[in-house]
Amino acid sequence: MTRQRLIGMGIVLIAAGAALVWLMSRPVVLPPADSRQDEMAGMDMPWMGKEQQKKPALVEEAVGPGTPLESEGVPGIVTIAPDRLQTIGVKYEPVARRPLEKIIRTVGRVAVDERKLAKVTIKFHGWIEQLFVSATGDHVKKGQQLFTIYSPDLVATQEEYLLALQGRKQMGESEFPEVARGSQDLLEATKRRFQLWDITDDHIRELEKTGKVLKTLPIHSPITGTVIKKDALAGAHVDPGQELYTIADLSHIWILADIYEYELSFVKKDQKAAVTLSYDPSTVLTGHVGFIYPTLDPKTRTAKVRFELDNRDETLKPDMYANVELRVSLGTRLAIPQEAVIESGQKQVVFLHHGGGKLEPRLIKTGVKTGEWSEVLEGLKEGEHIVTSANFLIDSESRLKSVVEGMGGMPGMKMKD
Protein backbone atom coordinates (compact mmCIF):
# COMPACT_ATOMS: atom_id res chain seq x y z
CA MET A 1 0.00 0.00 0.00
CA THR A 2 1.43 3.35 -1.04
CA ARG A 3 2.04 6.22 1.25
CA GLN A 4 -0.46 8.47 -0.54
CA ARG A 5 -3.24 5.90 -0.05
CA LEU A 6 -2.64 5.62 3.67
CA ILE A 7 -2.73 9.39 4.04
CA GLY A 8 -6.11 9.52 2.22
CA MET A 9 -7.73 6.91 4.47
CA GLY A 10 -6.61 8.81 7.58
CA ILE A 11 -8.19 12.02 6.32
CA VAL A 12 -11.53 10.19 5.78
CA LEU A 13 -11.54 8.71 9.31
CA ILE A 14 -10.79 12.09 10.90
CA ALA A 15 -13.67 13.71 9.03
CA ALA A 16 -16.12 10.95 10.06
CA GLY A 17 -15.18 11.29 13.73
CA ALA A 18 -15.64 15.04 13.65
CA ALA A 19 -19.10 14.64 12.12
CA LEU A 20 -20.12 12.13 14.84
CA VAL A 21 -18.97 14.48 17.61
CA TRP A 22 -20.95 17.33 16.03
CA LEU A 23 -24.14 15.23 15.85
CA MET A 24 -23.88 14.07 19.48
CA SER A 25 -23.41 17.62 20.69
CA ARG A 26 -26.73 18.77 19.17
CA PRO A 27 -30.01 18.51 21.30
CA VAL A 28 -32.58 15.90 20.26
CA VAL A 29 -35.98 17.43 19.36
CA LEU A 30 -38.93 14.97 19.43
CA PRO A 31 -42.32 15.63 17.86
CA PRO A 32 -45.31 16.46 20.16
CA ALA A 33 -46.84 13.61 22.17
CA ASP A 34 -50.16 13.92 20.38
CA SER A 35 -48.59 13.42 16.97
CA ARG A 36 -46.49 10.50 18.25
CA GLN A 37 -49.53 8.69 19.61
CA ASP A 38 -51.49 9.41 16.43
CA GLU A 39 -48.70 7.84 14.48
CA MET A 40 -48.57 4.83 16.84
CA ALA A 41 -52.31 4.43 16.65
CA GLY A 42 -52.15 4.20 12.87
CA MET A 43 -49.12 1.94 12.69
CA ASP A 44 -49.50 -1.53 11.33
CA MET A 45 -47.90 -4.03 13.75
CA PRO A 46 -47.80 -7.35 11.91
CA TRP A 47 -46.00 -9.12 14.77
CA MET A 48 -49.14 -8.78 16.90
CA GLY A 49 -52.33 -10.71 16.23
CA LYS A 50 -55.57 -8.96 15.44
CA GLU A 51 -57.01 -9.83 18.86
CA GLN A 52 -53.94 -8.27 20.53
CA GLN A 53 -54.13 -5.13 18.42
CA LYS A 54 -57.82 -4.71 19.31
CA LYS A 55 -58.21 -2.96 22.67
CA PRO A 56 -60.69 -4.84 24.96
CA ALA A 57 -63.69 -2.79 25.95
CA LEU A 58 -66.80 -3.60 27.92
CA VAL A 59 -68.09 -0.20 28.90
CA GLU A 60 -69.18 2.22 26.18
CA GLU A 61 -69.50 5.99 26.37
CA ALA A 62 -71.37 7.45 29.34
CA VAL A 63 -74.90 8.59 28.74
CA GLY A 64 -75.87 11.91 30.22
CA PRO A 65 -74.11 13.89 32.94
CA GLY A 66 -72.44 12.23 35.91
CA THR A 67 -74.35 11.66 39.16
CA PRO A 68 -73.45 13.08 42.58
CA LEU A 69 -71.89 9.72 43.36
CA GLU A 70 -68.87 10.71 41.30
CA SER A 71 -67.82 13.06 44.09
CA GLU A 72 -67.95 10.04 46.42
CA GLY A 73 -65.54 8.06 44.26
CA VAL A 74 -68.31 6.13 42.46
CA PRO A 75 -68.54 6.38 38.64
CA GLY A 76 -71.66 7.80 37.01
CA ILE A 77 -74.23 6.15 34.74
CA VAL A 78 -72.67 3.70 32.30
CA THR A 79 -74.11 1.98 29.25
CA ILE A 80 -73.33 -1.58 28.31
CA ALA A 81 -74.62 -3.27 25.22
CA PRO A 82 -77.63 -5.48 26.10
CA ASP A 83 -76.10 -8.48 24.33
CA ARG A 84 -72.92 -8.00 26.35
CA LEU A 85 -74.95 -7.89 29.58
CA GLN A 86 -76.53 -11.17 28.61
CA THR A 87 -73.12 -12.66 27.81
CA ILE A 88 -71.60 -11.86 31.19
CA GLY A 89 -74.69 -13.18 33.01
CA VAL A 90 -76.18 -10.00 34.46
CA LYS A 91 -79.49 -10.59 36.28
CA TYR A 92 -81.99 -8.13 37.70
CA GLU A 93 -84.49 -8.14 40.51
CA PRO A 94 -86.98 -5.54 41.79
CA VAL A 95 -86.54 -4.02 45.23
CA ALA A 96 -89.41 -5.29 47.40
CA ARG A 97 -90.64 -5.57 50.96
CA ARG A 98 -90.45 -9.09 52.31
CA PRO A 99 -90.64 -10.87 55.68
CA LEU A 100 -87.19 -11.23 57.22
CA GLU A 101 -86.09 -13.85 59.71
CA LYS A 102 -82.82 -13.77 61.62
CA ILE A 103 -81.31 -17.21 62.20
CA ILE A 104 -78.78 -17.64 65.01
CA ARG A 105 -76.90 -20.93 65.19
CA THR A 106 -74.57 -22.06 67.96
CA VAL A 107 -73.26 -25.17 69.70
CA GLY A 108 -73.99 -25.78 73.36
CA ARG A 109 -73.04 -28.23 76.10
CA VAL A 110 -75.65 -30.24 77.96
CA ALA A 111 -75.62 -29.56 81.71
CA VAL A 112 -77.60 -30.76 84.70
CA ASP A 113 -80.39 -28.48 85.90
CA GLU A 114 -78.91 -27.14 89.14
CA ARG A 115 -82.38 -26.87 90.65
CA LYS A 116 -82.81 -30.64 90.25
CA LEU A 117 -79.50 -31.72 91.75
CA ALA A 118 -79.02 -33.21 95.23
CA LYS A 119 -76.06 -34.41 97.27
CA VAL A 120 -76.51 -37.03 99.98
CA THR A 121 -74.51 -36.45 103.17
CA ILE A 122 -74.92 -37.38 106.83
CA LYS A 123 -74.79 -35.14 109.89
CA PHE A 124 -73.09 -37.58 112.26
CA HIS A 125 -70.20 -39.99 112.04
CA GLY A 126 -70.81 -43.69 111.55
CA TRP A 127 -70.17 -46.82 109.52
CA ILE A 128 -72.07 -47.94 106.43
CA GLU A 129 -73.54 -51.39 106.97
CA GLN A 130 -75.46 -52.21 103.78
CA LEU A 131 -75.73 -50.55 100.36
CA PHE A 132 -79.04 -50.69 98.50
CA VAL A 133 -77.88 -48.39 95.63
CA SER A 134 -74.40 -49.48 94.73
CA ALA A 135 -73.64 -48.21 91.21
CA THR A 136 -73.38 -44.94 89.32
CA GLY A 137 -76.23 -44.60 86.85
CA ASP A 138 -78.82 -46.31 89.04
CA HIS A 139 -82.27 -44.70 89.06
CA VAL A 140 -83.75 -43.93 92.46
CA LYS A 141 -87.07 -42.55 93.68
CA LYS A 142 -87.65 -39.97 96.33
CA GLY A 143 -87.68 -41.68 99.74
CA GLN A 144 -85.97 -44.85 98.49
CA GLN A 145 -83.43 -46.38 100.90
CA LEU A 146 -79.84 -45.81 99.78
CA PHE A 147 -77.91 -47.50 102.64
CA THR A 148 -78.04 -48.28 106.34
CA ILE A 149 -75.63 -46.79 108.83
CA TYR A 150 -74.51 -47.66 112.36
CA SER A 151 -73.66 -44.78 114.64
CA PRO A 152 -73.20 -44.73 118.44
CA ASP A 153 -74.98 -41.36 118.47
CA LEU A 154 -78.03 -42.91 116.80
CA VAL A 155 -78.14 -45.77 119.27
CA ALA A 156 -77.84 -43.42 122.23
CA THR A 157 -80.57 -41.13 120.88
CA GLN A 158 -82.92 -44.08 120.41
CA GLU A 159 -82.40 -45.10 124.03
CA GLU A 160 -83.03 -41.53 125.17
CA TYR A 161 -86.21 -41.40 123.16
CA LEU A 162 -87.55 -44.62 124.66
CA LEU A 163 -86.76 -43.34 128.17
CA ALA A 164 -88.44 -40.02 127.41
CA LEU A 165 -91.45 -41.86 126.03
CA GLN A 166 -91.71 -43.99 129.17
CA GLY A 167 -91.28 -40.93 131.39
CA ARG A 168 -94.11 -39.13 129.63
CA LYS A 169 -96.44 -42.10 130.22
CA GLN A 170 -95.57 -42.14 133.90
CA MET A 171 -95.57 -38.40 134.52
CA GLY A 172 -98.15 -37.32 132.03
CA GLU A 173 -100.91 -37.74 134.59
CA SER A 174 -98.96 -36.03 137.38
CA GLU A 175 -100.82 -33.49 139.45
CA PHE A 176 -97.91 -31.15 138.96
CA PRO A 177 -98.18 -29.46 135.50
CA GLU A 178 -94.49 -28.56 135.43
CA VAL A 179 -93.49 -32.20 135.73
CA ALA A 180 -95.85 -33.30 132.95
CA ARG A 181 -94.69 -30.48 130.66
CA GLY A 182 -91.01 -31.30 131.31
CA SER A 183 -91.40 -34.94 130.32
CA GLN A 184 -93.22 -33.90 127.12
CA ASP A 185 -90.51 -31.35 126.25
CA LEU A 186 -87.81 -33.99 126.69
CA LEU A 187 -89.64 -36.33 124.35
CA GLU A 188 -90.08 -33.59 121.70
CA ALA A 189 -86.42 -32.56 121.91
CA THR A 190 -85.26 -36.14 121.34
CA LYS A 191 -87.67 -36.53 118.42
CA ARG A 192 -86.42 -33.25 116.88
CA ARG A 193 -82.86 -34.58 116.98
CA PHE A 194 -83.93 -37.54 114.83
CA GLN A 195 -85.51 -35.19 112.34
CA LEU A 196 -82.39 -33.03 112.15
CA TRP A 197 -80.41 -36.15 111.34
CA ASP A 198 -82.84 -36.95 108.47
CA ILE A 199 -84.38 -39.96 110.26
CA THR A 200 -87.92 -40.15 108.88
CA ASP A 201 -91.07 -40.20 111.00
CA ASP A 202 -91.99 -43.77 110.03
CA HIS A 203 -88.83 -45.05 111.74
CA ILE A 204 -89.70 -43.06 114.86
CA ARG A 205 -93.17 -44.56 114.86
CA GLU A 206 -91.64 -48.01 114.43
CA LEU A 207 -89.38 -47.33 117.42
CA GLU A 208 -92.39 -46.28 119.52
CA LYS A 209 -94.33 -49.38 118.44
CA THR A 210 -91.64 -52.00 119.08
CA GLY A 211 -89.73 -50.31 121.89
CA LYS A 212 -86.52 -51.88 120.54
CA VAL A 213 -83.32 -49.97 119.79
CA LEU A 214 -82.10 -50.64 116.24
CA LYS A 215 -78.39 -51.02 115.57
CA THR A 216 -78.61 -49.36 112.15
CA LEU A 217 -80.98 -46.89 110.57
CA PRO A 218 -81.54 -46.27 106.83
CA ILE A 219 -80.73 -43.09 104.85
CA HIS A 220 -83.18 -42.19 102.04
CA SER A 221 -82.91 -40.43 98.68
CA PRO A 222 -84.04 -36.78 98.82
CA ILE A 223 -85.22 -36.67 95.17
CA THR A 224 -86.13 -38.87 92.21
CA GLY A 225 -83.33 -39.09 89.69
CA THR A 226 -80.15 -40.78 88.51
CA VAL A 227 -77.02 -41.38 90.55
CA ILE A 228 -74.28 -39.52 88.69
CA LYS A 229 -71.65 -39.88 91.42
CA LYS A 230 -71.20 -42.42 94.25
CA ASP A 231 -68.58 -42.51 96.97
CA ALA A 232 -70.44 -44.72 99.46
CA LEU A 233 -68.83 -48.12 100.17
CA ALA A 234 -70.06 -50.89 102.45
CA GLY A 235 -68.17 -50.94 105.75
CA ALA A 236 -66.61 -47.51 105.18
CA HIS A 237 -66.44 -44.97 107.98
CA VAL A 238 -68.06 -41.66 107.08
CA ASP A 239 -67.79 -38.24 108.70
CA PRO A 240 -70.39 -35.50 108.96
CA GLY A 241 -70.72 -33.56 105.69
CA GLN A 242 -68.99 -36.19 103.56
CA GLU A 243 -70.68 -36.48 100.13
CA LEU A 244 -71.78 -40.06 99.54
CA TYR A 245 -74.10 -39.72 96.53
CA THR A 246 -74.85 -37.07 93.87
CA ILE A 247 -78.31 -37.52 92.38
CA ALA A 248 -79.62 -35.56 89.39
CA ASP A 249 -83.08 -35.40 87.87
CA LEU A 250 -82.29 -35.58 84.14
CA SER A 251 -85.90 -35.28 83.00
CA HIS A 252 -85.30 -31.55 82.62
CA ILE A 253 -81.87 -30.34 81.52
CA TRP A 254 -79.96 -27.20 80.50
CA ILE A 255 -77.91 -26.43 77.40
CA LEU A 256 -75.26 -23.76 77.89
CA ALA A 257 -74.33 -22.04 74.62
CA ASP A 258 -72.23 -19.03 73.58
CA ILE A 259 -73.85 -16.19 71.65
CA TYR A 260 -71.77 -13.43 70.01
CA GLU A 261 -72.33 -9.95 71.40
CA TYR A 262 -73.60 -8.59 68.06
CA GLU A 263 -76.38 -11.21 68.15
CA LEU A 264 -77.39 -10.74 71.78
CA SER A 265 -79.92 -8.03 70.95
CA PHE A 266 -81.98 -10.62 69.05
CA VAL A 267 -82.09 -13.09 71.98
CA LYS A 268 -84.91 -12.70 74.50
CA LYS A 269 -86.02 -14.74 77.50
CA ASP A 270 -88.57 -17.51 76.76
CA GLN A 271 -87.74 -17.56 73.00
CA LYS A 272 -88.16 -21.00 71.50
CA ALA A 273 -85.11 -22.83 70.16
CA ALA A 274 -84.62 -25.96 68.04
CA VAL A 275 -82.08 -28.45 69.40
CA THR A 276 -80.51 -31.26 67.35
CA LEU A 277 -77.73 -33.76 67.96
CA SER A 278 -74.88 -34.42 65.55
CA TYR A 279 -75.56 -38.16 65.48
CA ASP A 280 -79.30 -37.71 64.89
CA PRO A 281 -79.98 -34.47 62.95
CA SER A 282 -83.45 -35.66 61.94
CA THR A 283 -84.73 -35.49 65.53
CA VAL A 284 -85.55 -31.92 66.57
CA LEU A 285 -86.14 -31.10 70.24
CA THR A 286 -87.82 -27.89 71.34
CA GLY A 287 -86.49 -25.76 74.18
CA HIS A 288 -86.59 -22.14 75.26
CA VAL A 289 -84.23 -19.43 76.48
CA GLY A 290 -84.22 -19.71 80.26
CA PHE A 291 -81.57 -17.17 81.19
CA ILE A 292 -79.06 -14.79 79.57
CA TYR A 293 -75.97 -14.52 81.74
CA PRO A 294 -75.04 -10.93 82.65
CA THR A 295 -71.30 -11.16 81.86
CA LEU A 296 -69.33 -11.31 78.61
CA ASP A 297 -66.17 -13.29 77.89
CA PRO A 298 -63.58 -10.62 76.92
CA LYS A 299 -61.57 -13.07 74.80
CA THR A 300 -64.31 -14.63 72.68
CA ARG A 301 -66.74 -11.66 72.88
CA THR A 302 -69.57 -14.06 73.69
CA ALA A 303 -72.13 -14.37 76.47
CA LYS A 304 -73.54 -17.56 77.95
CA VAL A 305 -77.18 -18.29 77.25
CA ARG A 306 -79.05 -21.04 79.07
CA PHE A 307 -81.58 -23.06 77.10
CA GLU A 308 -83.98 -25.31 79.00
CA LEU A 309 -85.89 -28.31 77.68
CA ASP A 310 -87.62 -31.48 78.77
CA ASN A 311 -85.61 -34.70 78.54
CA ARG A 312 -87.98 -37.35 79.88
CA ASP A 313 -86.46 -40.18 77.85
CA GLU A 314 -82.97 -38.90 78.79
CA THR A 315 -81.86 -38.59 75.17
CA LEU A 316 -79.56 -35.76 76.16
CA LYS A 317 -76.72 -36.72 78.49
CA PRO A 318 -74.68 -34.31 80.62
CA ASP A 319 -71.60 -32.93 78.78
CA MET A 320 -73.00 -33.85 75.35
CA TYR A 321 -72.73 -31.29 72.55
CA ALA A 322 -75.94 -30.10 70.91
CA ASN A 323 -76.71 -27.79 67.97
CA VAL A 324 -79.02 -24.91 68.84
CA GLU A 325 -80.91 -22.77 66.34
CA LEU A 326 -82.89 -19.62 67.10
CA ARG A 327 -85.26 -18.10 64.53
CA VAL A 328 -86.13 -14.46 65.18
CA SER A 329 -88.90 -12.86 63.13
CA LEU A 330 -88.05 -9.27 62.16
CA GLY A 331 -91.31 -8.46 60.40
CA THR A 332 -91.69 -7.13 56.83
CA ARG A 333 -88.88 -4.84 55.67
CA LEU A 334 -87.44 -3.42 52.44
CA ALA A 335 -84.70 -5.87 51.44
CA ILE A 336 -82.44 -6.88 48.54
CA PRO A 337 -80.17 -9.90 47.95
CA GLN A 338 -76.80 -9.61 49.69
CA GLU A 339 -75.00 -10.48 46.44
CA ALA A 340 -76.38 -7.27 44.91
CA VAL A 341 -74.39 -5.09 47.33
CA ILE A 342 -70.79 -4.11 46.59
CA GLU A 343 -68.94 -3.36 49.82
CA SER A 344 -66.40 -0.57 49.32
CA GLY A 345 -64.85 0.30 52.63
CA GLN A 346 -67.64 1.92 54.65
CA LYS A 347 -69.82 2.38 51.56
CA GLN A 348 -72.38 0.05 50.03
CA VAL A 349 -73.14 0.38 46.31
CA VAL A 350 -75.73 -1.25 44.06
CA PHE A 351 -76.34 -0.86 40.29
CA LEU A 352 -79.78 0.27 39.14
CA HIS A 353 -80.97 -0.89 35.72
CA HIS A 354 -82.79 1.84 33.73
CA GLY A 355 -83.29 -0.25 30.58
CA GLY A 356 -81.39 -0.23 27.30
CA GLY A 357 -78.21 -1.27 29.05
CA LYS A 358 -78.06 1.87 31.22
CA LEU A 359 -76.72 1.17 34.71
CA GLU A 360 -76.56 3.67 37.56
CA PRO A 361 -74.40 3.07 40.65
CA ARG A 362 -76.28 4.09 43.80
CA LEU A 363 -75.00 4.53 47.32
CA ILE A 364 -77.23 2.83 49.88
CA LYS A 365 -77.31 2.19 53.61
CA THR A 366 -78.00 -1.34 54.77
CA GLY A 367 -79.31 -2.62 58.08
CA VAL A 368 -79.64 -6.13 59.44
CA LYS A 369 -78.47 -9.08 57.33
CA THR A 370 -80.46 -12.30 57.38
CA GLY A 371 -79.19 -15.21 55.38
CA GLU A 372 -79.29 -14.11 51.73
CA TRP A 373 -81.06 -10.78 52.34
CA SER A 374 -79.90 -7.33 53.43
CA GLU A 375 -82.27 -4.75 54.83
CA VAL A 376 -82.21 -1.38 52.98
CA LEU A 377 -82.43 1.68 55.20
CA GLU A 378 -81.61 4.42 52.66
CA GLY A 379 -80.94 4.85 48.95
CA LEU A 380 -83.56 2.61 47.28
CA LYS A 381 -87.29 2.60 46.77
CA GLU A 382 -89.66 -0.29 46.37
CA GLY A 383 -90.02 -1.35 42.72
CA GLU A 384 -86.61 -0.14 41.46
CA HIS A 385 -84.66 -2.74 39.48
CA ILE A 386 -81.17 -3.59 40.62
CA VAL A 387 -78.40 -5.83 39.28
CA THR A 388 -78.04 -9.00 41.36
CA SER A 389 -75.14 -10.72 39.55
CA ALA A 390 -71.86 -9.77 37.81
CA ASN A 391 -71.75 -6.60 39.94
CA PHE A 392 -68.01 -6.65 40.50
CA LEU A 393 -67.29 -6.94 36.78
CA ILE A 394 -69.56 -3.99 36.01
CA ASP A 395 -68.04 -1.98 38.88
CA SER A 396 -64.44 -2.61 37.79
CA GLU A 397 -65.17 -1.77 34.17
CA SER A 398 -67.03 1.42 35.08
CA ARG A 399 -64.14 2.55 37.27
CA LEU A 400 -61.69 1.75 34.44
CA LYS A 401 -63.73 3.92 32.10
CA SER A 402 -63.59 6.83 34.59
CA VAL A 403 -59.82 6.50 34.83
CA VAL A 404 -59.41 6.47 31.04
CA GLU A 405 -61.67 9.49 30.59
CA GLY A 406 -59.62 11.29 33.22
CA MET A 407 -56.47 10.83 31.10
CA GLY A 408 -57.39 13.77 28.86
CA GLY A 409 -55.04 14.77 26.03
CA MET A 410 -53.95 11.23 25.27
CA PRO A 411 -55.51 10.26 21.96
CA GLY A 412 -55.67 6.64 21.11
CA MET A 413 -56.76 5.65 24.63
CA LYS A 414 -60.54 5.91 24.09
CA MET A 415 -62.18 2.53 24.74
CA LYS A 416 -64.36 1.26 21.94
CA ASP A 417 -65.69 -2.05 20.76
Local structure of residue 32 (DSSP, 8 states): P
Q: Give the pLDDT score at 181.
A: 73
Question: What ranges do the domains of the chain cover?
Answer: 104-113+250-331, 118-248
Domain 118-248 classified CATH 3.90.1150.10?
no
Model confidence band, residue 296 (pLDDT cutoffs 50, 70, 90): very high
Q: Which residues pair with 19 in a beta bridge?
A: none
Rounded to 10 degrees, the C-alpha dihedral 387/393/398/399 comes to 130
Q: Which of 295, 270, 275 is nearest to 285 (CA)?
A: 275
In this predicted structure, the answer to whether residue 22 has a pLDDT above a threshold of 60 is: no
Residues 278, 279, 285, 287: is their CA dihedral positive or negative?
A: negative
The C-alpha atoms of residue 197 and residue 219 are separated, in whole angstroms, by 10
- Whether this prediction's pTM lies above 0.85 is answered by no
Q: Is the pLDDT of residue 417 over 80?
A: no
pLDDT digits (tens, 9 = 90+) for 299-340: 999 999 999 999 988 889 999 999 999 999 989 999 999 888
Q: Look up the CATH architecture of domain 104-113+250-331.
A: Beta Barrel (2.40)
pLDDT higher than 70, residue 120: yes
The string of pLDDT tens digits covering residues 39-61 is 444 444 443 444 444 433 344 43
Q: Considering only CA atoms, give the Rg of the chain.
A: 46
